[in-house]
Structure 1
């Protein structure tokens, strides 16, 4: 079937000007719905502050939201890279371009309200307020000023081009708590509250920082810019730093303190909502590094069939190709992919997924065509080589170029999709290099501190636009899947999915899910992953998973490795996706060919006879929970309701200890999470543990009105209304889990 470009284009336009079509796919409806009941008509179409050579536009956008754009010497074009949907799914402000009805000069004053949020310019400085139900105003944040301080809107002009670096500073409170900012890197950062941190805005393996955060003061702020830079959360100042920009673009919204679901609803209404994934992804997903030939995959399917174990997705990892950039099976090891997928489906009913990398080496069958047609990313000072792997230097396909995305998808269709493999694993596509924070990936000299490549793309430089590289790589798969399945771009459900290691804000509107990258196989990392998960979920990305057991360092022949795997596997039952993967260590020597092959097993029956029935039981439990998981994703699509929830989401108002413990990043609270509205999960992260101290939060009044109590999953023992720690037995086959209400309702998805 011929490739068609996205049928739903985000247009960022200035009235009376021709739109520049960015080709940014949204798979959610872009028809503006009726305003929320508590949202009034904005008081103004917008404000333009003409501050000498600086122009600042302030406009209502979305429910209870305000968008601000600042530029130097010239107006924003309206065509800048953006993750915002225009018009938003809900609320005012769509297709307004740079409209305004208030023009303010140097040190001027003006006001704008949109629902419950107000923006005020006083002597040229901007403040944001929440309008309370009684009509009073509460300051959320304002541009930071002091007797001696840099301007809150601070620019450093690049003399070679119209771009500049920028530092925008806002007031903060010393006791303010900050949540979100994407997914922290493995493996030492156990924070949920980011206050006091300085977070680099550059993507690499396991690190997916997103310039969006929620405050416990009742607001969410998003910097709609894919540039590298920093977010700084000091005691009295929050500062956003952009390495390269032509416009500084941010959005802010508000809700009552503690109402994080409304903040997420309003944020996802302007950046997009997760379409519901296909039901097969809610089951058990089997993967390892790596099944390296067709016979292994067919034998694996036969084993699942013979052992009568459910499996919903079987994954083929990297180097299924001959050369990087082929995006096709090496026929020496995969002679008949169509027959393989048919046999897997016949034996297990499972779908299949295959890995693809963005790297291209000179020997690839596609290399010359990609070079000649300008479809590879370049570098500022060389031939486009940005990294190396497996003994060769590599370049990146430029997925920010629509022609590159079309080329990539045609190859994926010819090699995989047409042979029955409909799901794609986007690996190493973090941008700039081949996925790591360093150069010379896979070489022994990787610790030499070379500067990262100065990668340049169709849409701009790595410094100015690089965080959108993985986002547009996801789009390549999304466009292809929608075209080949003839699914409209406005569809709110997915037939197939991609798995990605990186993304940008708004990535939740793709048929895609994020995983946390290459993690260490250690008990402390198991717990650290909880904080990564709830942080990225607070940034709008709930479609998330990880490598059960960790990626690196798990020896399946050791008691430590077996116990760790069972503990991690148990947690996987209560994640948005239950996916095992890893580069296992064992007593079996690796083969000499093909490269990067590993015989070590990673199947449920690989971790000892005593653990096999436990792992099988956990898989069975996951399938019992499929109706609940399905409902969680339906809620996520409908209103952006977060799936993996730090305890502050639901209990910061009802339980003072949850609030104070979250502020301090106390592991008693930060290493637990709510899986949807009815299940509390407290994984065991200590070797040889037989019991676990679990903190049960004090229930909200709404929960008490429904006669909820905390009930132990395994014994059905009631532990009351919470507000205290309890010690529960925690053998390997009983991960500490508590539920609210009726288990029958949970298992039926009636929540």
Structure 2
């Protein structure tokens, strides 16, 4: 919160006059120029400051990231933290120590510590105050910290929660893994900074609640002290890039993963599972993947990773048949084991199962859960999957119950003893360690495939494991549907880019019911603009053919749109991997200075070129949207609209409002039956004039790890709004199977005029003289 005070420059000048010590250092600071200050000690990574009630450590990790730790004693060095895998980099920083204050400065931020109170003021590179880390103010628990908020500041992130909030201001958020709630301790401020709270214990986060007015407060139930990374932007993309730099980059998922997925709880036989793929191919509707949900095993075989031979007589044949139809298949595996399985006994012998056995949430029975914090446990767990299921060539893994669910009661993990210590201290990080077991195993033992995981829970750093998190077993109603939008956006701005929901809700309705068909259609439209486009639920099937013909026609039209968007989506996925990008973007990421955009719960950018406004009201014909400042285009009609205003737009059952900012280049592909299907049809390049624009078009073989070795191609497309010219840059790179010539259709959206181009990789320019 910015109060009236001397400017950052004036404050620093006053401090400089008072300081007795001035030091500087890249990586390790130089020795003090004058007498040592016994309370301020340089360390190998930063500075240690003795305060009245404990020890404060400040360690620069990069120009815009500082790790902050506070404890009552020197012996404590930090909380259990499997999320952060980076090491401090070389940073040019200076330290100034005076009688009243200590200041650490990097090129991007300044931290000023009041030696009497322990209060730490955070300034940006221009000396503008971002926040203050408040003194403990009587807090007795060791892992509690408050940050000052200004009156207009919005706070986002913290994982996925179902309260329907975008900005958490005025609310209290519990970070504790449970079905439908995902705990990721990364908070992001609209003022352009983030806090990665390094504590996986159950944590209460209060955001300007009545008890903690004007404060962002973290309070963990376990842990030896305060431990967090402060990340300064100022742009939100820079904050997320800092988070990824600390916790790992998101690998590029295979092209097929961006197509349509069909799933159900559950397909009961091999024939039923295969029939789903066959039906899509018979209909000629674009489709890429089917999911084999749980209970494919015989009674008593949960955790055996073996099929019931009566219902699934030939698993290898099933997978081959799916592949022969140019589709893919993943299968459900749990971290839970029936007590009579050999896999249970192998893990228990290794000391890698939690005690005691827990009663199932569903169906009746009891079982034990493996300890994913155990390195040996992770190794055994994956080896059991590989020898029983991996040999059939499945394309990925559905990790259900990955919180871990245990007996289904909140907080149970705190009661167990884990390989990492008390469960209370490692609690929320279970899904990170669990997905690590599967990702690392698949990467090693199935080298021809990019790892793919669908999981019900997540923790900081999980993006590095090739995982998409879905929102859990949510209800199929309008209220729940509306809440999935801010849940997804806050999850994305927590730094983990890939999210999904059960289209239509897990507990869905009857596809033949007109009311449910409307809800499903709206959710399906939303799903087109999600990272993962996936239908799933219990009860009656929700495949296209389960709906009446008029609904089928609408769903097929949107399915085809998804496939037309694949070049845009795949290029955006490359941006996620290569530049720490975010696919599903709350408006604060692109319009941070627009106060009207900061708290919208039902609009977002899908990539940088499409603003999506899902329809969450039953019977809607219109919906109100806010267009941020600047010019925009209606995606459906091409009409140009002035921004900086609220307006009502068409939103009948056939239409989800989508708008494109002026200065956008949008690639659209042909409709194909599956994502990797070869096509000789041209790639449409839409130009939305009004500003200069750029877009990097990406392509590769679609699967495998060749892209990591340079087997990929990028083409930079730039639009000069003054010259009315689209420049196709020289193609950089190549990959096996790459087309020598790519036909293009360059379209000026306002005029509809098009030019055909045969792009062979050399720089080419296309002039659209009247494109305005």
Equivalent of 2:90 in 69, 89, 92: 92
* Residue 410 of structure 1: how far off its partner (Å): 1.2
* Residue 288 of structure 1: how far off its partner (Å): 1.1
Q: Work out the number of aligned pairs and report it.
A: 627
Output the aligned Cα RMSD: 2.7
Instruction: Name the structure 1 match of 2:148.
Output: 171
Decide whether aligned partners of structure 1 residues 695 and 174 sit closer, same or farther in structure 2, where only a CA change above 3 A counts: closer
Runs of 5+ unmatched residues, structure 1: 1-39, 95-99, 157-164, 440-450, 488-493, 585-599, 663-668, 700-708
* Residue 373 of structure 1: how far off its partner (Å): 2.0
1:733 aligns with 2:725: no
**The structure with more radius of gyration:** 2
Equivalent of 1:367 in 329, 344, 348: 344
Contact 1:47 1:110 in 2 (8 A): no
Deviations 1:269-300 (A, max 9, x none): 11222111111111111111111110101222
Equivalent of 2:137 in 141, 150, 157: 150
Decide whether aligned partners of structure 1 residues 341 and 736 sit closer, same or farther in structure 2, where only a CA change above 3 A counts: same
Deviations 1:544-581 (A, max 9, x none): 11111111132223111111111111111111111111
* Residue 202 of structure 1: how far off its partner (Å): 0.6
Instruction: Name the structure 1 match of 2:561.
Output: 621
* Residue 354 of structure 1: how far off its partner (Å): 0.5
Contact 1:274 1:543 in 2 (8 A): no
Decide whether aligned partners of structure 1 residues 386 and 222 sit closer, same or farther in structure 2, where only a CA change above 3 A counts: farther
Alpha-carbon distance in structure 2 between the residues aligned to 1:262 and 1:473: 28
Alpha-carbon distance in structure 2 between the residues aligned to 1:192 and 1:78: 31
Contact 1:48 1:58 in 2 (8 A): yes
Contact 1:632 1:643 in 2 (8 A): yes
Q: How does 1:501-512 map to 2 (within 5 A)?
A: 501-512=456-467
Instruction: Name the structure 2 match of 1:37.
Output: none
Instruction: Name the structure 2 match of 1:445.
Output: none
* Residue 70 of structure 1: how far off its partner (Å): 2.7
1:351 aligns with 2:338: no
Decide whether aligned partners of structure 1 residues 84 and 453 sit closer, same or farther in structure 2, where only a CA change above 3 A counts: closer
Q: How does 1:212-223 map to 2 (within 5 A)?
A: 212-223=186-197
Instruction: Name the structure 2 match of 1:327.
Output: 305
Contact 1:49 1:103 in 2 (8 A): no
Runs of 5+ unmatched residues, structure 2: 1-24, 30-44, 670-682, 686-694, 697-772
Q: How does 1:198-213 map to 2 (within 5 A)?
A: 198-213=172-187
* Residue 369 of structure 1: how far off its partner (Å): 2.5
Contact 1:433 1:453 in 2 (8 A): no
Deviations 1:628-656 (A, max 9, x none): 01111111112222211122221232x44
Alpha-carbon distance in structure 2 between the residues aligned to 1:711 and 1:602: 33
**Greater CA deviation, 616-625 or 553-562?**
553-562
Decide whether aligned partners of structure 1 residues 384 and 69 sit closer, same or farther in structure 2, where only a CA change above 3 A counts: farther
Decide whether aligned partners of structure 1 residues 304 and 580 sit closer, same or farther in structure 2, where only a CA change above 3 A counts: same
* Residue 689 of structure 1: how far off its partner (Å): 1.8
Q: How does 1:183-194 map to 2 (within 5 A)?
A: 183-185=160-162, 189-194=163-168
* Residue 388 of structure 1: how far off its partner (Å): 4.6
Instruction: Name the structure 1 match of 2:17.
Output: none
Decide whether aligned partners of structure 1 residues 211 and 565 sit closer, same or farther in structure 2, where only a CA change above 3 A counts: same
Instruction: Name the structure 1 match of 2:267.
Output: 291
Alpha-carbon distance in structure 2 between the residues aligned to 1:745 and 1:101: 47
Contact 2:79 2:223 in 1 (8 A): no
Equivalent of 1:670 in 589, 601, 626: 601
Deviations 1:357-394 (A, max 9, x none): 1122212232222222211023xxxx343755311122
Alpha-carbon distance in structure 1 between the residues aligned to 2:422 and 2:283: 52
Instruction: Name the structure 1 match of 2:415.
Output: 454
Deviations 1:125-150 (A, max 9, x none): 141423444xxx222222324xxx73
1:610 alignment partner, SS class? helix
1:684 aligns with 2:615: yes
1:252 aligns with 2:230: yes
Contact 2:261 2:534 in 1 (8 A): yes
Decide whether aligned partners of structure 1 residues 515 and 63 sit closer, same or farther in structure 2, where only a CA change above 3 A counts: farther
- With the length of structure 2 as denominator, give the TM-score of the two structures: 0.77
Alpha-carbon distance in structure 1 between the residues aligned to 2:664 and 2:186: 36
Decide whether aligned partners of structure 1 residues 692 and 169 sit closer, same or farther in structure 2, where only a CA change above 3 A counts: closer
Contact 2:69 2:78 in 1 (8 A): no
* Residue 486 of structure 1: how far off its partner (Å): 4.2
1:233 aligns with 2:207: yes
Contact 1:48 1:102 in 2 (8 A): no
* Residue 459 of structure 1: how far off its partner (Å): 0.9
Contact 2:107 2:125 in 1 (8 A): no
Equivalent of 1:138 in 117, 128, 131: 128
Contact 1:416 1:422 in 2 (8 A): no
**Greater CA deviation, 368-377 or 615-624?**
368-377
Instruction: Name the structure 1 match of 2:731.
Output: none
Alpha-carbon distance in structure 2 between the residues aligned to 1:75 and 1:86: 23
2:342 alignment partner, SS class? coil
Decide whether aligned partners of structure 1 residues 369 and 265 sit closer, same or farther in structure 2, where only a CA change above 3 A counts: closer
Alpha-carbon distance in structure 2 between the residues aligned to 1:79 and 1:93: 24
* Residue 93 of structure 1: how far off its partner (Å): 6.3
* Residue 744 of structure 1: how far off its partner (Å): 5.0
- With the length of structure 1 as denominator, give the TM-score of the two structures: 0.79
Deviations 1:431-454 (A, max 9, x none): 3625x4559xxxxxxxxxxx7771
Decide whether aligned partners of structure 1 residues 111 and 739 sit closer, same or farther in structure 2, where only a CA change above 3 A counts: same
Alpha-carbon distance in structure 1 between the residues aligned to 2:486 and 2:187: 15
1:150 alignment partner, SS class? coil
Equivalent of 1:712 in 614, 617, 634: 634
Alpha-carbon distance in structure 1 between the residues aligned to 2:102 and 2:311: 68
Contact 2:144 2:226 in 1 (8 A): no
Tell me: higher relative CO, structure 1 or 2? Use CA pairs within 8 A at least 6 residues apart: 1
Contact 1:549 1:564 in 2 (8 A): yes
Equivalent of 1:602 in 542, 555, 574: 542
Equivalent of 1:120 in 91, 109, 112: 112
Alpha-carbon distance in structure 2 between the residues aligned to 1:170 and 1:693: 35
* Residue 690 of structure 1: how far off its partner (Å): 2.2
**Greater CA deviation, 173-182 or 513-522?**
173-182
1:738 alignment partner, SS class? strand
Alpha-carbon distance in structure 1 between the residues aligned to 2:82 and 2:119: 22
Contact 2:160 2:487 in 1 (8 A): yes
Contact 1:179 1:192 in 2 (8 A): yes
Contact 2:605 2:611 in 1 (8 A): yes
* Residue 693 of structure 1: how far off its partner (Å): 2.3
Decide whether aligned partners of structure 1 residues 414 and 72 sit closer, same or farther in structure 2, where only a CA change above 3 A counts: same
